[in-house]
Amino acid sequence: MNIHINCDLGEGGDFDAQLMPFISACNIACGGHAGTSKSMYETVCLANLNKVEIGAHPSYPDKENFGRLSLQISKKDLKDSLQHQIFNLQNIVQSQGAKISHFKAHGALYNDAAKDEKIADLLIDFLLEFDDNLPLFVPQNSVIYERGKNKIPMIFEAFADRNYNDDYSLVSRSESHALITQKEEVFKHVYSMIYQHKIICENEREIDCYAGTFCIHSDTPNSVEILQYLTCKLQENNLKIKKG
C-alpha cells in the first residue's frame, strides 16, 4: 500500500534538499507569499531529481505576512496575481521538461476558500481557465469542495503535523498547540487517519478522514527528522511513500 505525502517547498527554508527524498509531491511557492524565479527553478530541479510531483502553491500577494493573513483584495487583482504566480512557475517547469501535477493554495487563501464561497468560486474559475484537469488539494467538509466537486478534480488533504478542531479547521497558529512537532505524535496522528479513517481532534472528538494526500510543513521544527521517522514507521506497517 502506498501513501501520498506532500510538502510546501521553495519557501526559503534550509532543508528542501533533505526533505525531497521522503515525499511524493512538492507544492512550490511561486512568488505570492514566498519564492523567486531562482528558488522555483532550484526546487523544480530537485523535484525532477527525486521523482517528486510538482504542484503550484500560490497565495495572496503578501510576502510581509507569509500569506497567512486574509487580504482585502479585489477579485481582479487576486486573479491577476494568481495568473502571474502560476504562469511564472509553469514557464520554469516546462523549461525543465516537467509539468505541473496539482494545485494547492497557501495559508490564508487555502483557509478562506474552505469557508468563503466567493474565494472558492474564484479559485475554481481560475483553474477551469488554466487547466480543468489539474487536481486541487482541498480540506474535507469545505466550501470549495462543495462548490467545485462536479467541475474539477479534487483530492482531500489532511495535515500530518497540525492539530484539528472538530469542524475540520486547523487549530490557529496563534495557539501553542497548533503544531505537532514530536515525531511519535505525528506518526500516531497519521496512523489514525490512514487505518481508522479518523482525525482525533483537540477536544478528543473523532471526525472522519478520507484523505488522499498528507501534508508535512517544511517550516515545522525538525521536519526532516519527522519525515525520516515517519517513513520508517510507515514501512514497518507495510506502507510506502508513493513516488513518480
pLDDT 10s digits, 99-129:
999 999 999 999 999 999 999 999 999 999 9
Cβ count within 10 A of residue 195? 10
Decide which of 219 and 24 is more confident. 24
Nearest residue to 227 (alpha-carbon basis) of 138, 161, 171:
161
pLDDT band at 220, cuts 50/70/90? Answer: confident
Alpha helix ranges (H) inside 114-244: 117-130, 143-148, 183-191, 223-236
- Contact indicator for 177, 189 with CB cutoff of 8 Å: no
Instruction: Look at residue 135 in the predicted model and tell me its pLDDT.
Output: 98
In the predicted model, is pLDDT for residue 43 greater than 90?
Answer: yes
Mean pLDDT of 21-27: 97
Cα–Cα nearest to 84, from 76, 72, 96:
76
pLDDT on residue 221: 82
Which residue shows C-alpha cell 521553495?
10
Average pLDDT over residues 196-221: 95
Residue 92 has pLDDT above 90, yes or no: yes
Q: How far apart are CA 148 and CA 225, in angstroms?
A: 36
10 Å Cβ neighbour count for 109?
28
pLDDT, mean of residues 148-152: 96
Residue 112 near residue 68 (C-beta atoms within 8 A): no
Q: In this structure, what C-alpha cell is assigned to residue 231?
A: 517513513
Mean pLDDT of 63-92: 97
How much is the pTM?
0.96
Query: Which residues fall within 8 angstroms of residue 25, CB to CB, at 6 or more apart?
Result: 4, 5, 6, 7, 52, 53, 54, 55, 101, 102, 213
- pLDDT of residue 210 exceeding 90, the answer is yes
Over 80: is that where the pLDDT of 180 sits?
yes
Residue percentage of the chain with pLDDT more than 90: 94
- Give the DSSP letter of residue 195: I
Q: Is 134 in contact with 102 (CB distance < 8 Å)?
A: yes
Q: In the predicted model, is pLDDT for residue 244 greater than 80? A: no
For 217-222, what is the mean pLDDT? 90
Residue 68 has pLDDT above 90, yes or no: yes
**Helix 223-236 vs helix 183-191: angle between axes, to the nearest 10 degrees?**
50
Going along the chain from its start, the domains and CATH numbers come out as 2-241 (3.20.20.370)
